[in-house]
Structures are given as C-alpha cells and as structure tokens.
C-alpha cells in the first residue's frame, strides 16, 4: 500500500516535471470520473458534454483568459492561456479584419483586467500592412476601447526582422500583449521559431498572439490554434426592435483548430463594443434577429401578398450554408394560402 502511494507520488512528480519542461499545465482528457481522484478538489474538472477535463497541475487561478463566452471557455477548459503563444488563423487575407478584430478584442479583455494599463505592441511585416491595411487607431478606440497611447506598431520590411522584434518584445513584461501578424506560411516560422516565442511568452507571463493570414495549419508550439472568420452580424437593436437591413455588432466565427483539451468545435461570438465583452450568439437568436422585411398587407385584395423574402429552412448552426438565390426570390411552397387552389399554368 505504501509502495503504491510512493509510486504514485513519483509518477505525479515526474508528470509535473514533464509539464514544466513542456511548459504546459498537465492536463488530460479523461472519461467521466466515477470517483474524483484523491487530492483534487471536486470542482477542478470542467464538465463538457461527454468528457471531463481534469486539471492536475497547480494552475494559478488567473492563468487563463476567459473570453466570456461560456461554451468556448468550457471547451478550452477555462479560457486561453495567458502566458503562451496563441495562434489565430484566417483562411484568406480578406479575413484580416475579423482575425485582427478577434485578437484585439482578446487584448482588450486583457487590458480591462490590468490596472496600470500597459501598451500593446502590434508587429507586422510591410507586406501584411500593405495587403490587409494598417491598424487604424480611431477604429480601435471606438470598438475596443484601446486608447491610441496604448498602441505601439512595429513595421518590419522582412519576416526575419519581424520575428526578431517579436522575440525581443515577447520577453518584456512591460507590454500587455504582443501581436505578431504575418501572411502565408513562411518556412522561417517553423517549430523552432514558435518555440522561442512561446518560451519567452511563458517567462514574461504575457500573451503573444500570432496572427496568420492565409496561412496553413502547420506544426507549431502554440498550445491553442483558433481559426477565425467573419460571421454575418445581427441587426442593430433599437427600441422598436431590430432594425432591418442594418449592420450590428461585429461577429466572429471561431473554430478551435488545435488544443490539448478541447474537441473541435465552432462558436459564433459577438463583440459588445460598449461593454467590451464577448457574447455568445445562440442558434435561435440569429433567426430572430434577421426577420424578413415587414411589408404592409394588401387591403384591397382578398389574399394578402406573401411576405417578400423567404422563409428559410435553416441549416444546422455551424454550417454557413446560405439559402440559394433562387429560393430567396420566390415564396416557398407551404407559404401559399391553403384555401386557394393550386395555381394553373398559363
């Protein structure tokens, strides 16, 4: 008995050491535990649908950045690691707005927690700033509440220089967050380069967001990779309900590309620019917020005109399949009033 306890202690010690070397918290997926292992508080596990994630390390309570969207946080078992490299991918360069917006909203969440607000450094190659646009301080202030004085930009002509700047910046605790933005899948940004960034971020305790526009998922050291694209926004809320045809809050579709704990999943988040928090968009909400345009019913004729637009048969949430344009132009069949007979041809 004593032997097993000693052996278990040794295993735990080794596991902790491995975790220290790897620089990650020792976590693993586990089938729903019949009995919580001794020595662990019962609330250490976060329940997901079928799997329980049991955190075995001495994770400090603020090691994770909670996005505020509960399902995403639960899937990431508490949020994004704060002292780590986090990859945020965009499928195409034209997604740069959404990818940058998501990273900045995370930075805004970080800034909100800090009392002396430290600056954010955004490093990019000249190529990406030319292709995807230079960050615009007024827009960032309006949307994320980041003051122009809290922003620093670094534009490097070559990727090597950008990586050097990022490595130098990642080790500085005087920066709130470092955003490194590059385009494509350059060979130089390999496992070694990301490991250097990750190690420095861990030592400094600051997050490094690696934004990769139009890049492919490659093996890197980052513990979490998120794939972000823009989601159609909901309509603006007015007193009289949603305003048809308007463009509301920024929305992102976030899918987890890589994580040690999470299952692949897709989440639609909405950024609240007033409160500077994320809100999860529900499946039904999108439908309710995109009503068909209201058209006054015809008074003279017996049959009311069918509402313009379409009654959509929504695909399950998560697949962005849109309604085909032909279906949108014609009223769908069940909408025809039942007391009128089938229309004759000619």
116 vs 316 by CB, closer to another protein: 116
Structure tokens at 320: 């962005």
Gap between the Cα atoms of 266 and 299, Å rounded: 46
44-63: contacts with another protein (CB under 8 A): none
How many Å separate Cα 22 from the centre of its chain?
Answer: 24
Gap between the Cα atoms of 289 and 248, Å rounded: 10
Least distance (Å) between residue 109 CB and another protein: 14
151-170: contacts with another protein (CB under 8 A): 151-157, 161, 164-165, 168-169
Gap between the Cα atoms of 47 and 43, Å rounded: 9
Q: Is 162 helix (H, G, I), strand (E, B) or coil?
A: helix
Gap between the Cα atoms of 271 and 252, Å rounded: 8
101 interacts with another protein by CB under 8 A: yes
165-204: contacts with another protein (CB under 8 A): 165, 168-169, 172-175
303 vs 329 by CB, closer to another protein: 329
The crossing angle, in degrees rounded to 10, of helices 159-170 and 191-204 is: 30
Least distance (Å) between residue 64 CB and another protein: 23
Cα dihedral 339, 343, 344, 346, rounded to 10, equals 140
Stretch that binds another protein, among 228-236, 278-286, 303-311, 334-342 (CB under 8 A): 228-236
209 interacts with another protein by CB under 8 A: no
27 vs 181 by CB, closer to another protein: 181
Most distant CA atoms of the chain, gap in Å:
92
72 vs 262 by CB, closer to another protein: 72
Q: What is the DSSP letter of 255?
A: E
Least distance (Å) between residue 78 CB and another protein: 25
Binding residue for another protein (CB under 8 A) from 76, 78, 89, 102?
102
- CB half-sphere exposure, 204, CA atoms < 13 A: 24
Contacts of 194 by beta carbon, 8 Å cutoff, 6+ apart: 85, 210, 220, 221, 222
286 interacts with another protein by CB under 8 A: no
Binding residues for another protein (CB under 8 A): 94-98, 100-102, 104-105, 116, 118-119, 129-130, 132-144, 148-149, 151-157, 161, 164-165, 168-169, 172-175, 229-233, 245-247, 250-253, 271, 273, 320, 322
């Amino acid at each position: 008995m004593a032997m097993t306890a000693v052996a278990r202690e040794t295993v735990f010690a080794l596991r902790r050491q491995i975790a220290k070397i790897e620089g990650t918290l020792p976590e693993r997926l586990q089938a729903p535990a019949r009995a919580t292992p001794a020595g662990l508080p019962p609330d250490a596990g976060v329940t997901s649908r079928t799997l329980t994630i049991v955190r075995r390390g001495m994770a400090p309570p603020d090691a994770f950045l909670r996005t505020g969207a509960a399902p995403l946080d639960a899937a990431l078992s508490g949020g994004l690691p704060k002292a780590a490299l986090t990859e945020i991918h965009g499928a195409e360069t034209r997604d740069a707005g959404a990818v940058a917006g998501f990273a900045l909203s995370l930075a805004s969440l970080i800034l909100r927690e800090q009392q002396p607000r430290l600056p954010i450094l955004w490093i990019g190659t000249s190529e990406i700033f030319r292709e995807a646009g230079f960050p615009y301080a007024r827009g960032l202030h309006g949307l994320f509440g980041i003051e122009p004085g809290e922003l620093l930009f670094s534009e490097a002509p070559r990727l090597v220089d950008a990586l050097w700047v990022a490595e130098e910046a990642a080790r500085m605790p005087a920066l709130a967050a470092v955003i490194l933005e590059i385009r494509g899948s350059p060979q130089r940004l390999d496992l070694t380069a990301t490991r250097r960034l990750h190690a420095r971020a861990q030592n400094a305790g600051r997050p490094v967001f690696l934004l990769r526009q139009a890049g492919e998922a490659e093996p890197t050291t980052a513990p979490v990779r998120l794939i972000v694209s823009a989601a159609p926004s909901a309509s603006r809320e007015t007193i009289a309900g949603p305003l048809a045809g308007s463009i509301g809050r920024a929305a992102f579709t976030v899918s987890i590309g890589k994580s040690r704990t999470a299952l692949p999943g897709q989440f639609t988040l909405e950024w609240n620019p007033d409160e500077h928090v994320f809100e999860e968009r529900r499946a039904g909400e999108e439908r309710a917020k995109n009503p068909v345009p209201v058209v006054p019913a015809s008074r003279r004729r017996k049959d009311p005109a069918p509402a313009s637009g379409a009654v959509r048969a929504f695909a399950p949430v998560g697949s962005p399949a849109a309604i085909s344009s032909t279906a949108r132009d014609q009223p769908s069949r069940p909408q025809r009033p039942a007391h009128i007979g089938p229309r004759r041809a000619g």
